Structure 1
Amino acid sequence: MLGLIAFTMFSCSEDDDSTNGEGTAHVTVSMTDAPGDFDGVLIDVQDVMIKTEMDGAEDEGWESIGSVETGVYDLLELTGGVSQLLADVELPAGYLGQMRLILGNDNSIVVDGESYAMATPSAQQSGLKLNVNQELEAGEQYSFLLDFNVDESVVSQGNGGYLLKPVIRLSAEEGASTIEGEVHPSNFRSLVKAQNASHTISAYTDADGNFTLHGVPAGIYKITVTPDVASNLPTIEKNNVTVEASTEVDLETIYLE
């Protein structure tokens, strides 16, 4: 699973807003994973950069968001509602145009217990540009989640090697919600997917059968639970699951037997 970004913004204080015409926003950036059929996918996070200018050349005006938790992260550990906090910073309120995740060279994949280095083209290391296009207001809260799609991000080459070309879904919609629950039995992994005409959001269950789908826009969804093929259990569907803005939808326990 690969995966997401989450940003949260708060004003420094009422006094700050009164003395500073714009004020500041408290911004957090997190990452999660959409499913992938590998033993491990490790990515080398070096920076998160933002672009606040509406005009200018495509590659100009980028700056580090600051205080980024750099390191090598296994995306397949970000399941069952787990996300990785990448940054927690104060930013001036104002226009946020784009964001990109900067990767290093230490990227690898584990397949059938064997680890392989993943080549990362320079264009990918410089960061996939993700459109935000939102005015950040002082004192308001915004949530953004970077959801890596592992299956689409990892490209198998004919010579047995692998390329990392990140495919990321940015969840940055005001009022986005979560869908959570538990799948029973939990002694194997299940894929949980929420889908409608506009959106497809998915995650694997964790070791206890728990799952969380982040950044779900309001709407009506079909929930599909697909257990590991080795379980010999059927796929379960739940239709007409209504998700309202800024809510947590608890599907409780979904039984596959």
Structure 2
Amino acid sequence: MKSALVLSFLAFTLFSCSGDDNGTAGEDTAQLTVSMTDAPGDFDAVFIDVEDVMIKTDMDGTEDEGWESLGEVNTGRYDLLELTGGVTQVLADVEVPAGYLGQIRLVLGDDNAIVVDGEETAIAVPSAQQSGLKLQVDQELEAGEQYVFLLDFDVEESIVRQGNGGFSLKPVIRVSAQAGAGAIEGEVHPSETRSLVRAQNASTTISAYTDMEGNFKIHGVPAGTYKITVIPDVASNLPEFEEDNVVVEANETVNLETLYID
């Protein structure tokens, strides 16, 4: 458990693993997408059992009041480690009333597990989390606009090994709104082993794994200038690679093309 997995969680409508949305928001609504993607993780598999996705727009009531299901959520058990190289999994894609969005709640079932050295072990969800994982958003949604939210699980911090040898879920999640965010993509060669690609500046660190062909895409990157570090698998004996001054603009994807590790 030495690197961070990103569970960029949810998006609405399970078309494929590309996560792009073609919906158009109306005059009084905004298009809301919540997407799931993967960054670093050192397990054979990480299964998350998604039962529902809910939102809360009225923050005047109690903590448990005012929640509404997004409806038509593509529930299921998803292996986060299949989402690499910039692939995202759409769980739902809906129109919601324009206005204030306070929180998103991810409701999990009981079939959560990790696989280590070929052995599957259930992940216990503490009683405090059984009503759903509540994520603070505090975003004003403007009519006619499209918003994509990435919910990033830091697996190193979120999966806790218990004294009895089991595992429990203590979620540490970064919420990234992609309205105005950019992305960084490219290829790493040689690509025989997966590499971790990290984008970092003074205020932000985001990372993703390459897929088996060396492709990667880091989603939800705030506009700014970044240092890119490629960290190959230790067994490859390849050195790290760095590229400085990569500028990311709002709503743009920077293609670094091919990064060669000598």
TM score, norm. by length of structure 1:
0.91
Structure showing greater Rg: 1
Secondary structure of 1:160 counterpart: coil
| CA apart distance, 1:153 | 1.5
Q: Is the 8 A contact 1:26 1:91 kept in 2?
A: yes
Identity among equivalent pairs (%): 72
1:248 Cα deviation after fit: 0.4
- 1:11 CA drift (Å): 2.5
Partner residue, 1:106: 111
Aligned partners of 1:6 and 1:171 also within 8 Å: no
SS across alignment from 1:53: coil
Residue 213 of structure 2 is matched in structure 1 by 208
Q: Give 2:256's aligned residue.
A: 251
Select which of 46, 50, 54 maps to 1:41: 46
Give me the whole-angstrom Cα distance separating, in 1, the residues matched to 2:64 and 2:203: 30
The letter for the 2-side match of 1:192 is V
Shift of 1:127: 2.4
Give structure 2 stretches of 5+ with no counterpart: 13-20
Distance of 1:125 and 1:239 partners within structure 2: 43
Over 3 Å counting, the alpha-carbon distance change for 1:6 and 1:67 in structure 2 is: closer
CA distance 1:43–1:70, shift in 2 (3 Å): same
The within-5 A match list for 1:26-65 is 26-65=31-70
Tell me the residue number matched to 2:172: 167
> Which residue of 237, 240, 253 corresponds with 1:232?
237
Given the alignment, which residue of 135, 138, 142 partners 2:140?
Answer: 135
Aligned to 2:24: 10
- Which among 73, 76, 92 is matched to residue 71 of structure 1? 76
CA distance in 2, matches of 1:173, 1:30: 10
TM-score normalised by structure 2 residue count: 0.90
**1: CA distance, partners of 2:249 / 2:25:** 27
Q: Give the 3 Å change call, closer, same or farther, for CA 143–242 of structure 1 in structure 2.
A: same
- Which aligned runs of 4 or more in structure 1 are off by greater than 6 angstroms? none
Aligned length: 248
Which residue does the alignment assign to 2:150?
A: 145
Stretch of structure 1 that moved more, 219-228 or 58-67: 58-67
- Alignment correspondent of 1:20: none
> Is 2:171 aligned against 1:157?
no
Are the equivalent residues in 1 in contact too, given 2:11–2:91 (CA < 8 A)? no
Given residue 223 of structure 1, which amino acid in structure 2 is its aligned partner?
Answer: I
Match of 2:120 in 1: 115
Which segment is superposed worse, 220-229 or 159-168? 159-168
3-state SS of 2:77 partner = strand
- Paired position in structure 2 for 1:242: 247
Listed as ranges, the matches of 1:85-96 within 5 Å are 85-96=90-101
- Asked whether the equivalents of residues 32 and 148 of structure 1 are also in contact (C-alpha less than 8 Å), the reply is no
Cα deviation per residue 1:72-120 (whole Å; 9 max; x = unaligned)?
0001111110111111122122211111211111011100111111111
Take 2:150 and 2:244, find their aligned partners in 1: how far apart are those partners?
A: 26
- Distance (Å, rounded) in 2 between the aligned partners of 1:209 and 1:106: 31
Distance 1:51 1:112 in 2: 40
Quote how far apart the aligned CAs of 1:147 are.
Answer: 1.9
Q: Secondary structure at the match of 2:147?
A: coil
Gap runs ≥5 in structure 1: 18-22
Aligned counterparts of 1:128 and 1:106: Cα–Cα separation in 2:
15
Q: What is the root-mean-square deviation in Å for CA atoms of aligned residues?
A: 1.6
Distance 1:105 1:6 in 2: 21
Contact 1:25 1:136 in 2 (8 A): yes
